[in-house]
């Protein structure tokens, strides 16, 4: 019963968080497509930063069984104080301010901090406090939006609250710092994030460079698939924490892999149909060829969902090098796609990129799945 309650609270937090993201995109769509594109771009930057921290610190923390916030913070600092990572972080903050304005910088700050905070609360079983972190953002958004202000300023309030909570956790934690990561992990986490960024966030950046309107449509389509992302994220978090005590990594992988393929694929297809019929109602526009856009994006989503249990398996057996090599191959494939899109008419660029992405995810998942079978046989 306790586990069921924990999962319900975590699911509630994920539902609320994703519903908030959904409403922000809908609210910004009432202003202009350019604001939607700007939000999507800065949010994407924050997710890249979060992926860097996740690959280098959060996944390791969850699978280690350690429950020390000081240890987690030390691990995060080890990743971020790498000179190259620090330069990239400063560059992103400057670009966000220059391209979208100071308020949008706090979109980056909030999403950059929140995963570290949530990961520790989850690891220590503080699920109600985890839910509170999202409620603050939702209340701030509602108060500002319904009073006629710019909804984006909700991130200023939420970022300040989150920073205070982060510092309080650090101050109150008297546990000894436990070293969790060898130097090689920092290198591998950077390579994994860099390669993953190219084919996960590169499409939005590429579309933004071609036409901000196309980038906005991409963000709006992605927004509709939020419920499937919720389910995938919840399963992934519990799976990674459970892998620290798993007797058989392969048996654990097989169970979650089948769950992702069957249930999440069905949810994704349902959302694609919903998006096709209700896109104009939600956003007030109706671009051409939306049936193809939603079909292709559904394939991309399924590819990302399938990759998560595969990723956990390699984390469990401490073989990040395998993931790095596969992602470098995928990066090369996306680089070819990025060059090819230059020869495609702008109006077809979105469908061309989504079709290419679905192929990239297919290559990644097939190659890694075959390697898992090889590891099991050995």
Question: Is the confidence at residue 251, as pLDDT, over 70?
Answer: no
Same domain, 272 and 357: yes
- Cβ neighbours of residue 144 under 8 Å, at least 6 residues apart? 150, 151, 153, 154, 157
Domain finish residue from 153, 181, 209? 181
Q: Which tokens is 82 given?
A: 């790498």
Question: Is the confidence at residue 262, as pLDDT, over 90?
Answer: no
- 298: containing domain: 182-378
Same domain, 134 and 217: no
CA distance 108 to 371: 36
Same domain, 219 and 354: yes
Three-state SS at 253: helix
What is the model's pLDDT at position 246? 46
Do 207 and 239 meet the contact criterion of CB atoms below 8 Å apart? no
Same domain, 106 and 249: no
Least confident of 241-250, 286-295, 298-307, 308-317: 241-250
Same domain, 100 and 237: no
User: pTM of the full predicted structure?
Assistant: 0.79
What is the model's pLDDT at position 349? 92
What is the model's pLDDT at position 1? 46
Q: Which tokens is 247 given?
A: 């007797």
User: Structural domain tally of the chain?
Assistant: 2
Q: How many CB atoms lie within 10 A of CB 130?
A: 23
Question: Is the confidence at residue 283, as pLDDT, over 60?
Answer: yes
Question: Is the confidence at residue 334, as pLDDT, over 80?
Answer: yes
The model's confidence at residue 67, banded by pLDDT at 50, 70 and 90, is confident
Q: Which tokens is 200 given?
A: 């996960």
The model's confidence at residue 352, banded by pLDDT at 50, 70 and 90, is very high
What is the model's pLDDT at position 250? 63
Higher pLDDT: 132 or 277? It is 277
The model's confidence at residue 224, banded by pLDDT at 50, 70 and 90, is very high
Interval 170-193: pLDDT, tens: 788 777 766 665 555 556 666 667
Least confident of 45-54, 298-307, 335-344: 45-54
Lookup result for tokens 């389910």: 231
Averaged pLDDT, 209-219: 91
The model's confidence at residue 309, banded by pLDDT at 50, 70 and 90, is confident
Three-state SS at 247: coil
Same domain, 33 and 1: yes
Same domain, 191 and 78: no
What is the model's pLDDT at position 47? 82
Higher pLDDT: 275 or 150? It is 275
CA distance 182 to 363: 30
Do 221 and 297 meet the contact criterion of CB atoms below 8 Å apart? yes
Averaged pLDDT, 142-167: 80
- Cβ neighbours of residue 294 under 8 Å, at least 6 residues apart? 221, 224, 272, 273, 275, 276
Query: Which of the residue ranges 76-80, 262-266, 343-347 has the most confident prediction, judged by mean pLDDT?
Result: 343-347
What is the model's pLDDT at position 135? 81
H helices then E strands: how many in the chain? 17, 0
Same domain, 242 and 352: yes
Averaged pLDDT, 63-71: 72
Same domain, 107 and 236: no
Same domain, 206 and 325: yes
Lookup result for tokens 């149909």: 273
Domain finish residue from 181, 211, 226? 181
Domain finish residue from 128, 152, 181? 181
CA distances from 141 to 18, 100, 153 (A): 14, 19, 8
What is the model's pLDDT at position 16? 81
Same domain, 206 and 118: no
The model's confidence at residue 245, banded by pLDDT at 50, 70 and 90, is very low
Q: How many CB atoms lie within 10 A of CB 342?
A: 9
Same domain, 174 and 187: no
């Amino acid at each position: 019963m306790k586990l069921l309650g924990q999962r319900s609270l975590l699911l509630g937090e994920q539902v609320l968080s994703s519903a908030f993201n959904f409403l922000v995109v809908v609210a910004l769509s009432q202003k202009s497509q350019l604001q939607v594109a700007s939000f999507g771009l800065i949010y994407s930057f924050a997710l890249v930063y979060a992926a860097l921290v996740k690959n280098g610190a959060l996944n390791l923390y969850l699978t280690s069984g350690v429950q020390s916030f000081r240890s987690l913070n030390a691990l995060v600092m080890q990743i971020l104080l790498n000179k190259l990572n620090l330069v990239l972080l400063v560059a992103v903050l400057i670009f966000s301010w220059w391209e979208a304005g100071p308020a949008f910088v706090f979109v980056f700050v909030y999403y950059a901090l929140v995963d570290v905070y949530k990961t520790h609360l989850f690891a220590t079983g503080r699920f109600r406090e985890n839910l509170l972190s999202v409620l603050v953002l939702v209340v701030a958004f509602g108060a500002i939006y319904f009073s006629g202000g710019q909804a984006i300023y909700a991130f200023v309030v939420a970022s300040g609250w989150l920073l205070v909570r982060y510092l309080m956790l650090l101050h109150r934690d008297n546990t000894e710092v436990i070293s969790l990561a060898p130097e090689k992990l920092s290198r591998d986490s950077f390579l994994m994030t860099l390669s993953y960024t190219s084919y996960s966030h590169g499409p939005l950046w590429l579309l933004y460079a071609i036409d901000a309107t196309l980038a906005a449509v991409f963000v709006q389509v992605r927004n509709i698939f939020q419920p499937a992302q919720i389910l995938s994220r919840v399963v992934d978090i519990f799976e990674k924490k459970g892998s620290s005590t798993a007797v058989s990594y392969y048996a654990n992988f097989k169970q979650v892999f089948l769950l992702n393929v069957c249930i999440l694929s069905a949810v994704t297809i349902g959302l694609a149909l919903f998006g096709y019929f209700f896109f104009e109602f939600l956003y007030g526009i109706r671009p051409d060829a939306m049936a193809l856009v939603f079909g292709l994006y559904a394939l991309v989503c399924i590819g990302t969902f399938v990759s998560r249990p595969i990723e956990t398996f390699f984390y469990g057996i401490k073989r990040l090098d395998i993931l790095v090599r596969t992602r470098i191959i995928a990066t090369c494939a996306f680089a070819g796609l990025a060059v090819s899109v230059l020869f495609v008419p702008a109006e077809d660029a979105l469908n061309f990129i989504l079709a290419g992405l679905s192929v990239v995810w297919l290559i990644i998942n097939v190659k890694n799945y075959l390697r898992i079978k090889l590891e099991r046989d050995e």
